[in-house]
Amino acid sequence: MNPKILIIGACGQIGTELTHKLRQLYGTENVVASDIRKLNNDIVNSGTFEVVNALDFNQIEHLVEVHHITDIYLMAALLSATAEKNPAFAWDLNMNSLFHVLNLAKANKIKKIFWPSSIAVFGPTTPNENTPQFTITEPSTVYGISKLSGERWCEYYHTHFGVDVRSVRYPGLISWSTPPGGGTTDYAVDIYHKALIYKKYECFLSSETKMPMMYMDDAIDATIRIMQAPSEQIKIRSSYNLAAMSFTPTQIAAEIKKNIPDFTVSFIPDFRQKIADSWPASIDDSRAREDWNWHHEFNLESMTLEMLQHLEDSHKK
C-alpha cells in the first residue's frame, strides 16, 4: 500500500524536485504539497496543494487528519546565510516545525518522518577531511546550531517514544531547476547561470574553498532511499553523513571552461566565507552506504554537463 505523504516546504529548492519525484513514484493523489504561500508553479498546479504555516501545529494536524497522512517530509527551513541575518526567526522555524511533526508521530497520528540535517552541524573544530559520522560537532552558525539540536531531538524521540524519524546531513546541493535559496554553497548553482548568460561570475568565496557538494538528483535519491529502507536498517537516528564529491570554486570554473572557453571568474569573499571555512572539505558517508545501500551517480564532470544542458534548454524556452 502506498504511503500518504505531506511535504512541508514543497516550493523550496529541495522540496520542488522531491515533490515531483514522489508524485511519480506514489501517484499524484498520494502526495500533498504544502508551503507558506500559494505560487503559480508546477508544484501547486500539478496536484493537491495546501497553504500551511510550518509553525502552526493545528494547521499541520488538520492536514494530517483531512488527507490521512502517514509520512511527513519536513523541508521548511531558513538556510545558513539567510539565518545569520535573522537568528531568532531561524531558530523558531527550524526547531518548532520539527517539534510539531515529532509530536504528531509521538501521538501516533503519522508513521514516519523525514527531516533534513546538514554539514552545517560541523564546525571549525571538526576534522576537516573525510569527516567521520561520529565526531566533534561544534557549529558556529545559527543554522548549524538548529540542525545539531534537531538531530539530538530526533534521536531522543526515537529512543524514548519509538518515533520513526530518518535524516541525512545534506552537503551543498546543486540543481538547475530551482534558484539558489540562501545557502553558503549556492555559488555552485549561481555560477552555471552566470556562465551561460554573462560568461563571467563574481564568486563570494575564495578560489580554494573546498566543500562537499552533491547534484540534486543524488540528494533526492538518497532521501527516498532512506525512507524506503526497512526500519531495522536505519541504525543512526540522529542523522547520516551523506557525500558525493568535493571541489573548490577554481575546480568548478575549470570544468565549466571546458564547455564555455571564454568563461572567467573573479573572487570577492564576503561574510559567507567565514561560514564556509567552518565546514568540512570532505565527508565520510560509509555508514549510509553500509546501512541502507546509499551510492551516488554524479561527479563534477557529469554534473556540469547536465547543469549546462538543462539550463541552456530552459533559457531557450
Contact predicate 282/126, CB 8 Å: no
Q: Which three cell numbers stand for residue 96?
A: 518548532
- How far apart (Å, rounded) are the C-alpha atoms in residues 110 and 294? 25
The torsion angles phi and psi of 113, rounded to 5 degrees, stand at -130, 135
143 a catalytic residue = yes
Distance, in Å, from the CA atom of 191 to the CA atom of 264, rounded to the nearest integer, reads 10
Q: How many CB atoms are closer than 10 A to CB 17? A: 21
**39, 34, 73: which is closest to 51 by C-alpha?**
34
Active-site residue (options: 143, 187, 201, 215): 143
- Cα–Cα distance between 48 and 33 in angstroms, integer? 6
Size of the chain, expressed as the number of residues it contains: 317
Q: How far is the C-alpha of 304 from the C-alpha of 307, rounded, in Å?
A: 5
C-alpha span between 122 and 208 (Å, rounded)? 19
Q: What angle do CA 181, 50, 94 make, to 5 degrees?
A: 45
27: left (phi over 0), alpha (psi -120 to 50) or beta: left
Name the H helices within 162-280.
187-198, 216-228, 249-257, 272-277
Alpha carbon distance 103, 99 (integer Å): 6
Q: State how far the Cα of 14 lies from the Cα of 217, in Å rounded to an integer.
A: 10
Residue found under cell 567565514: 274
Coil/strand/helix, residue 165: strand
Residues carrying an active site annotation: 143
